[in-house]
Amino acid sequence: MEFEFEFRDGDGPADIEETLRGVPTEDGFRLLNERVTSDPRFRAGLTILVDCSALNTTGVSSEDLQRLSQHMVMRDWDYPPGAVAFIAPDEEMFNKIQEFRAHLGGSRSNRQLFRNRADAVAWLEEQTAES
């Protein structure tokens, strides 16, 4: 799995924007978490926009999704996010990310799924306005 992330420092709809590509792996999620959490700007309560448009979840099983979610569960324990918006444009991707979200606590984790960036950004802006 490849990824990019950027701390927006108040310039954008989210505090962190992440882009995920390729086949999701445990090593990929571990490395993403290590790099994000090692940044001095990382803290609890951040808003995160995750673009999964280029992620390839073909062949990823329910068991795989549960295993992959463990890295986020551990991060959330110490640093719960304020809100997370996932962009998952196609049906298969949407369903896999929805299952992934369920392992993270579902809607109680303040994570939502969207088919496009505009809707994801609008929701994140609502979350920021409410807090």
Topology, domain 2-125: Transcription Regulator spoIIAA (3.30.750)
**pTM above threshold 0.75:** yes
Query: Each residue of 72-94: pLDDT tens digit?
Result: 888 999 999 999 999 999 999 99
pLDDT tens figures, 44-76: 999 999 999 999 999 999 999 999 999 888 899
pLDDT of amino acid 117: 97
Q: Is residue 13's pLDDT more than 80? A: yes
Encode 57-110 in three state secondary structure. CCCCCHHHHHHHHHHHHHHHHHCCCCEEEEECCCHHHHHHHHHHHHHCCHHHHC
pLDDT at 11: 87
Average predicted confidence (pLDDT) for the chain: 94
